Chains A and B, each alone.
Chain A
Amino acid sequence: MQLSISVTQAAFDLAVEEARLAAEAGDAGAVVAFVGRVRGQDGPVALASLFLEHYPGVTESEIARIAGEAAARWPLLACRVVHRVGHLLPGEGIVLVLMASSHRQAAFCAAEFLMDYLKTQAPFWKRECFVDGSQHWVEAKATDDDACLRWS
């Protein structure tokens, strides 16, 4: 499996990333794309921006480990992961996962598996900044842990 991981402050372009994946994947009959975006309203007060912190070096190797587990479970041809850090505005993409395989089932399953593990294992932390000036670190969700358990 061809693997590309990028942790960056820059916005991503789905079409550009998909073209790169296609060039790496060879004869892929299936490409699944997941884009996670910043929601503007997660509570009573609207969100002004999101700040994402990570652990440089550790983040990339942890995503590579998770992608390696996905490759051990499903016949994948290529995988691209882009995860943004720094300040993001509502509507902007946070995370992009692209999976390529010969047939659709492997790409669908592997994309979902990678997202479930990325959310619960990779060292990223979100801080929400609201329009009223308040801000707080997002707490981990038990539902994300539950989503992971179904793969074990």
Chain B
Amino acid sequence: MILVRYFGVLKDKLGLEQERLDWPGGTTRDLLTLLRARGGDWEQGLAPGQVFRLVVNQAIVRGDAEIPADAEVGILPPVTGG
């Protein structure tokens, strides 16, 4: 199982803050592919321009990265701080 957390506008678009997913193993790209395959808001909300970065176990991922079992994965929309 992995814990997937959604932030900012994604929480509203997808209608949830976090979920637990069975995880057969794979990378951050595999996770996005799996979630986009849900279609509708998921396909639109997680389209390439809508996702800024993924975080695996509190570390920001640049590029594709392995998601280990029991990981916490954050999906971040483009940031608007400062």
Which A residues form the contact surface with B (CB < 8 A)? 36, 52-55, 57-58, 61-62, 83, 94-95, 115, 118-127, 137-141, 144
Contact of B80 among A36, A55, A126 (CB under 8 A): A126
| A125 and B82 contact, CB distance less than 8 A | no
Q: Given A58-B60, A61-B58, A125-B7, decide whether A137 and B12 contact each other with a Cβ distance below 8 A.
A: yes
Q: Smallest Cβ distance from B75 to chain A, in angstroms?
A: 10
Q: How far is the CB of A134 from chain B (nearest CB, A)?
A: 13
Query: Are B80 and A122 within 8 A (Cβ)?
Result: no
Q: Report A-chain residues with C-beta under 8 Å of the C-beta of B74.
A: 55, 58, 123
Contact B82 A94 (CB under 8 A): yes
10 closest cross-chain pairs (CB), A and B:
A124-B81, A125-B8, A140-B78, A119-B82, A137-B9, A138-B80, A126-B80, A57-B58, A118-B82, A122-B81
Task: Tell me, in angstroms, the Cα distance from A57 to B78 when the chains sit together.
Answer: 18
Q: How far is the CB of A58 from chain B (nearest CB, A)?
A: 5
CB distance from A137 to the nearest CB of B (A): 4
Q: Which residues of B contact A (CB under 8 A)?
A: 7-9, 12, 52-53, 55, 58-60, 74, 76-82
Q: List 10 A-B contacts (CB under 8 A).
A: A61-B58, A61-B59, A119-B79, A119-B80, A123-B81, A124-B79, A124-B81, A126-B81, A140-B79, A140-B80
